Amino acid sequence: MGPRARLWPVSADAEALASVISTRERPLVEGLKRWVEIPSVSTDPDRSDDVQRSAEFLRAYALACGMTTAEVWLTAGHPTVFAERIEDPALPTVLVYGHHDVQPVDPIEEWELAPFQALERDGLLLGRGTADDKGHILMHLEAVRGILEVRGRLPVNLKLIAEGEEEDGSEHFAATVQAHRDRLACDVAVISDTGMLAEEVPCLTVALRGMAYWEVRVRTSETDLHSGVYGGIVLNPITVLSEMLAGLHDQDGRVTVPGFYDRVLELSTEERQELAQVPFDELSFLKAVGATPSGEAGYTLMERRSTRPTLDICGVWGGYQGTGAKTVIPARAAAKLSSRLVPNQEAAEITSLVGDHLRRAAPPGVEVEFELIHDGRWVLTPTSHPAVDAAANAIAQVWGKPPVYIREGGSIPPVATIADELSVPCVLFGVGLPGDHIHAPNERVVLRQLFRGMQVLGRLWDLYAELGRAGLSSRPV
């Protein structure tokens, strides 16, 4: 799929604007290198000061790029950064969302260089946060700087919100938006935390899966036991948990939890046909990460990764982990689980179903604890909305071809919060690639993707200005 029949005009100073925005490429890279050095890992309590430093870095960077206001908003967790530049209340107002926190770096020994020391080579920049999501935020800010250098003003009012807890479940984001609803008021939101299928396959994401993340803990005795004295006569919690987890899927890759699929909104025949037209090389996609194919039978890899619900084991532990031997049967074992949810699944119901299923799967006498860590709702964006149409045209102008509309398998709970709390359309524009190793060792960003992204933004704000507030608030056609 691509832009609809309407072709948008190119601004008169497009060439000059593109040229100046190009001069911001090296400053973007150097700024990103400095920001990567701040280890803003939101899930690590020992890194809370670093997340604060990251927020202060972004606040200063936003002001340097021409935002007239930039503030660090404290929350009950990690800080959020807000910045804005209001040119004229009559102009459309765009809210850009991103996050300045990053994932943990384990296993650190697999990194080519220290994860918080950026490595530039072969058109790539490696380092934690380069793609997810610091690079995207600086892509926006450096585009602002370029536009202001050419014109002295923006064609729209622009606001930025960058939270510090996206990688930790965005626990306090909804409260932050509710507390600052007036400051965040806008006509459209642009979410820059998504990606494309390949460098020459420009994409716009129109759907995100939701998520529920849990921890399950089992206990089979009051204390660790000597394996010589008690081996063979007591339940081993690691064995018990392994069997419980192994039973979550059948041989066809379907989740065995009763009721798990009851509310899933199945794709129509037309939607499956449309998705099949998206250029996607399944073998290359898996080869890029050295992975073995698996999943629910009866669906293509593209369908499984973007439109089907999942239930995955994200971590397992129990027993002795140190060097050498310790002949012990542990008392406890535990695991982390995550589920990607699709329309119309709801996290609360799936949490109840999965928890009940695991408790039933445990042998008599085994204590099972099941805890929800965080969750988020799925999102669908109308492809026919004028704001999406304009974004598709801006991408087409830069890439030289219309983008395809894709559904992304990942989850971004703040998107649903923004859409619900601010009652605005959300356009999902990101330039990350499948091989960027986000959440893994050697995270990287293809710099040309960021540079092209800046050029898209230089055009997109003009198109939104042409639409005006009335056009952006109109219903999809």
Q: Read off the pLDDT of residues 299-310 as tens digits, 9 standing for 90 and up.
A: 999 999 999 999
pLDDT band at 477 (very low <50, low <70, confident <90, very high): very low
φ, ψ at 315 (rounded to 5°):
-175, 145
Q: Read off the pLDDT of residues 202-211 as tens digits, 9 standing for 90 and up.
A: 999 988 999 9
Ordered by start, the domain boundaries in the chain are 14-208+378-473, 210-264+309-375
Distance CA 233, CA 216 (A): 24
- The confidence score (pLDDT) of residue 14 equals 85
Question: DSSP for 375-393?
Answer: EE--EE--TTSHHHHHHHH
The answer to whether 8 and 471 are in contact (CB under 8 A) is no
pLDDT band at 476 (very low <50, low <70, confident <90, very high): low
Q: Let me know the angle formed at the C-alpha of 316 by 313 and 321, rounded to the nearest 5 degrees.
A: 160
Q: Which of 2-11, 28-37, 91-100, 447-456 has the lowest mean pLDDT?
A: 2-11
Distance CA 407, CA 208 (A): 6
Quote the tokens at residue 325. 């031997």
Angle between helices 25-36 and 48-64 (to 10 degrees): 160
CATH architecture of 210-264+309-375: 2-Layer Sandwich (3.30)
Q: Is the pLDDT of residue 322 over 70?
A: yes
State the residue for tokens 């994200």: 314
- The confidence score (pLDDT) of residue 1 equals 43
- The confidence score (pLDDT) of residue 334 equals 98
Q: Is the pLDDT of residue 186 over 50?
A: yes
Q: How far apart are the first and last CA of the chain?
A: 16
> Which SS3 state, helix, strand or coil, does residue 84 take?
strand
Which has more confidence, 357 or 11? 357
**What would the CATH number be for the domain defined by 14-208+378-473?**
3.40.630.10
Q: Read off the pLDDT of residues 34-60 as tens digits, 9 standing for 90 and up.
A: 999 999 999 999 999 999 999 999 999
Q: Let me know the angle formed at the C-alpha of 179 by 177 and 182, rounded to the nearest 5 degrees.
A: 80
Q: Read off the pLDDT of residues 375-411 as tens digits, 9 standing for 90 and up.
A: 888 988 878 899 999 999 999 999 999 999 988 888 8
The answer to whether 35 and 137 are in contact (CB under 8 A) is no
Q: Read off the pLDDT of residues 83-102 as tens digits, 9 standing for 90 and up.
A: 999 999 999 999 999 999 99
Q: Is the pLDDT of residue 25 over 60?
A: yes
Q: Is the pLDDT of residue 5 over 50?
A: no
In whole angstroms, what separates CA 132 from the centre of its chain?
7
φ, ψ at 183 (rounded to 5°):
-65, -30
pTM of the model: 0.81
Compute the average pLDDT of residues 162-170. 94
Give 165's contacts (C-beta < 8 A, 6+ positions apart): 42, 75, 77, 78, 99, 101, 171, 172, 173
Q: Is the pLDDT of residue 281 over 90?
A: no
